[in-house]
Amino acid sequence: MPIVIYGIKNCDTMKKARAWLDKHGVEYNFHDYKTAGIDKDRLARWSKVAGWEVLLNRAGTTFRKLPDADKASLTEKKAMALMLAQPSMIKRPVLEIGGKLLVGFKPESYAAAIK
């Protein structure tokens, strides 16, 4: 099963995750949200596995720049619409590996997943 890492090319955390994968000789495909977007069904699957609260990058600039009305009283439906409209609001990276889903980058989680 191919390994796919999802994110944005210039994100510092993405650079760390990709460097870690490269250093450990892990072959992967990179899906750039900026150029390829994200499809609704994939995002919905991720939400079921990880939870929309985990997927939504509230610390990012894109989310922080939203009007307060858009940030208030978030529901899964509202958060999913925001992430689909602006995929840079999805926490990075998201790694699909062997049927598992990892959100964010922690070297120890990556090491355990590639065994």
- The set of catalytic residues is 11
CB 47 within 8 A of CB 77: no
How does residue 1 score in pLDDT terms, banded at 50, 70 and 90?
low
Q: What 3 state SS string does 30-90 have?
A: EEEHHHHCCCHHHHHHHHHHHCHHHHECCCCHHHHCCCHHHHCCCCHHHHHHHHHHCHHHE
Is CATH 3.40.50.920 correct for 3-114?
Answer: no
- Cα gap 36→18, rounded to integer Å: 18
| Interval 71-103: pLDDT, tens | 888 999 999 999 999 999 999 999 999 889 999
- All structural domains of the chain with their residue ranges: 3-114
Give the amino acid at 84. Answer: L
| Interval 21-72: pLDDT, tens | 999 999 999 999 989 999 999 999 999 999 999 999 999 889 999 999 888 8
